[in-house]
């Protein structure tokens, strides 16, 4: 919809030689350092933004690997112990016939994290190439920012199950080490997305050099 923007007619605070506050939108002269309205640090663009994005993103991807290899849950029923990974847990739910919940868990712990990795990498890569982005790229970023935290659901499920199912010999559920690395992966990618300065999406290479 907003892709029909008259790109050449839009004046940015940066191209007008001013600086806009990323928190409250107030416009200042370029040499002002702290926003007078909200007290945020003023930066026309966050120069180290992309470095932070890549660093946290890669950290998030690395810890996502053990999160899938190691068990998320250790279940003991009547003296018999079994361990299940993220995917194992989803398959178990499918066997129970709870397709809806299996879908939620699969979506939250596999689809969302992986699409997040791809989406953040894509946005950061576009900024590197210096092509001017469009409104849909900002919307992609907003979706990533909004949906990322929902991946934490699996960690909470593990916590709840471990708290609830402590019936001595009959049934016990304990958390596995994958819960920690999964939680870290979600946190790292959230920090990565938060470090991204969406105003970079709109800059062309020339704008960056200016």
Partner 1 sequence: MLWYSSEVWQSISKTTRPYLFPSVGLPYLGNMNDSFEDMIACPKCDALHRIPDVEKGAQARCARCDTVLMAPRDGAMTRIVMLSATGLILMIAAVFFPFLELSTHGLGRKSSVFDAILAFSDGLMLPLSFAVAALIVVLPITRLIALIYVFAPMALGWAPARRARAVFRMAEVIRPWAMAEIFIIGVAVALVKVAGLATVTLGPAFWAFVLLVIVTALKDNFMCRVTVWQTLNQRSV
The residues, any chain, with a CB within 8 Å of residue 7's CB and separated by 6 or more, are: 132
Among the candidate windows 34-42, 46-54, 59-67, 122-130, which touches partner 1 by CB under 8 A? 34-42
- Return the residues of window 177-196 that contact partner 1 according to CB under 8 A: 177, 179-180, 183, 187, 190, 194
Tokens of 50: 């992309």
Contact 122, 161 (CB under 8 A): no
> Any contact of residue 86 with partner 1 (CB under 8 A)?
no
Count how many residues are written for the chain: 210
Rounded to the nearest whole angstrom, what is the least distance from the CB of residue 163 to partner 1 in the complex? 4
Backbone angles phi, psi at 98, to 5 degrees: -90, 75
Among 53, 57, 86, 93, binds partner 1 (CB under 8 A): 93
Least distance between partner 1 and beta carbon 18 (Å): 7
**Nearest distance in Å: CB 125, partner 1:** 19
199 part of the interface to partner 1, by CB under 8 A: yes
Per-residue tokens: 152: 């934490």
Q: Is 145 in the site for partner 1 (CB under 8 A)?
A: yes
**Cβ distance to partner 1 smaller for residue 62 or 160:** 160
Which one, of 182, 149, 148, lies nearest residue 73 by Cα? 182
Q: Are 127 and 205 in contact (CB under 8 A)?
A: no
Choose, by CB under 8 A, the member of 49, 68, 162, 195 that binds partner 1: 162
Task: Answer for the pair 13, 20: CB distance below 8 angstroms, yes or no.
Answer: yes
Report the distance separating Cα 42 and Cα 143, nearest Å: 25
79 lies in the binding site for partner 1 (CB under 8 A): no
Interface residues for partner 1 in 109-138 (CB under 8 A)?
Answer: 135, 138
Strand ranges, E, within 79-170: 80-84, 166-167
149 binding partner 1? (CB under 8 A): yes
- Residue of 48, 69, 82, 96 interacting with partner 1 (CB under 8 A): 96
């Amino acid at each position: 919809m907003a892709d029909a923007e008259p790109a050449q007619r839009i004046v940015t605070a940066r191209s007008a030689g001013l600086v806009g506050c990323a928190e409250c939108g107030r416009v200042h002269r370029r040499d002002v350092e702290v926003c007078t309205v909200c007290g945020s640090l003023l930066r026309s663009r966050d120069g180290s933004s992309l470095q932070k994005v890549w660093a946290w993103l890669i950290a998030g991807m690395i810890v996502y690997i053990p999160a899938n290899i190691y068990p998320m849950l250790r279940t003991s029923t009547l003296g018999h112990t079994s361990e299940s990974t993220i995917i194992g847990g989803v398959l178990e739910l499918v066997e129970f016939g709870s397709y809806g919940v299996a879908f939620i868990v699969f979506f939250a712990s596999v689809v969302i994290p992986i699409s997040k990795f791809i989406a953040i990498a894509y946005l950061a890569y576009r900024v590197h190439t210096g092509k001017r982005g469009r409104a849909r790229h900002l919307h992609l970023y907003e979706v990533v920012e909004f949906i990322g935290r929902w991946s934490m659901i699996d960690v909470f499920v593990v916590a709840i199950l471990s708290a609830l199912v402590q019936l001595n010999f009959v049934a016990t559920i304990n958390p596995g080490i994958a819960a920690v690395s999964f939680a870290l992966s979600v946190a790292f990618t959230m920090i990565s997305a938060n470090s991204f300065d969406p105003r970079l999406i709109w800059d062309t290479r020339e704008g960056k050099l200016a």
